[in-house]
Amino acid sequence: MQGRYGPDELNLFLSRLGMLLCILSLFPPLRICGAAAWAVLGIAIFRMCSKNLPRRRQEREQYLVLRGRVRSRTALLRRRWQDRRTCRYYVCKQCGTTLRVPKGAGKIEITCPKCRRAFQKKT
């Protein structure tokens, strides 16, 4: 493996995805997943054995940025679900920031902490 790229986070993800697709292909309606599993595992092996290190590092960086976006979005959705009885969420129309306000406070003026835009909402 000298001079080869080796394993990284993207390869771990691809390997796990390939194994999941392999398991899914055991069920008759999802047989097509078998071909997809081989393709994904092939990509993972190709990346590990590749000598084009700059390109593999670039792919890894893109993967980490995408994973970070998905994780932060998932965390926001989880928090919204946990706070659904006590808080309401609004999106600032000027900057797109998500704002959390207490529920049941009546008609209140909400000021965005990022862009200072104020708007009224009933909570």
94 binds Zn ion (CB under 5 A): yes
82 binds Zn ion (CB under 5 A): no
DSSP secondary structure, 105-122, as one string: --EEEEE-TTT--EEEEE
Residue 123: which of 86, 94, 95, 93 has the closest Cα?
A: 86
Name which of 44 and 92 has its Cβ closer to Zn ion: 92
91 binds Zn ion (CB under 5 A): no
Write down the least CB distance from residue 116 to Zn ion, Å: 7
Strand, coil or helix: 42: helix
From the list 7-15, 42-50, 83-91, 111-119, the region that binds Zn ion by CB under 5 A is 111-119
